[in-house]
């Protein structure tokens, strides 16, 4: 049974590493402004995430059958922990932490882009006197202060 758990841990680790690679590709696409690539990466991330969820459920069932559980800090707990299982677990935890850090980095990059965009819009509004010259959510020009509509009807 330990060998089966080791294989499950290895598959989950590989899944996390794949997810981490997708996060790195996503970060590069964000920096390039490649929104087509971002859409494709999102689809792949969802697929890998769903596969990881299935792997986690299978691994948790195997761990429970062996009397193993995880502690608050991710440590492996149980009366008899096979050395191979312990090593595979350490690799899994490392991959999870690297992936978590990559996800946090992407969040920071997105936040920085959003803040820059909001500041640029604010600067345009101040320069143009309100929303004059900007487009609304519907893609139409927003009427600014004192704006005049040239369309009748």
The pTM of this model reads 0.77
**What's the whole-number average pLDDT of the chain?**
89
pLDDT tens-digit map of 43-93: 999 999 999 999 999 999 999 999 999 998 899 999 989 999 999 999 999
pLDDT band at 128 (very low <50, low <70, confident <90, very high): confident
DSSP codes joined into one string, the chain: -HHHHHHHHHHHHHHHHHHHHHHHHHHHHHHHT-HHHHHHHHHHHHHHHHHHHHHHHHHHHHHHHTT-EE-TTS-EE-SS--HHHHHHHHHHHHHHHHHHHHHHHHHHHHHHHHHHHHHHHHHHHHHHTTTTT-B-TTSSBPP-TT-------
């Amino acid at each position: 049974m330990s060998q089966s758990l080791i294989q499950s841990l290895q598959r989950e680790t590989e899944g996390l590493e794949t997810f981490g690679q997708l996060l790195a590709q996503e970060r590069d696409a964000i920096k390039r402004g490649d929104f087509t690539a971002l859409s494709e990466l999102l689809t792949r991330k969802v697929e890998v995430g769903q596969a990881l969820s299935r792997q986690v459920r299978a691994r948790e069932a195997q761990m429970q059958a062996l009397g193993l559980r995880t502690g608050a800090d991710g440590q492996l707990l149980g009366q008899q922990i096979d050395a191979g299982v312990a090593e595979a677990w350490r690799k899994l935890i490392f991959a999870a932490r690297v992936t978590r850090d990559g996800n946090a980095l992407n969040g920071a990059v997105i936040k920085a882009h959003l803040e820059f965009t909001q500041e640029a819009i604010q600067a345009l509004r101040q320069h143009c006197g309100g929303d004059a010259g900007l487009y609304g959510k519907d893609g139409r020009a927003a009427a600014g202060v004192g704006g005049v509509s040239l369309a009748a009807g």
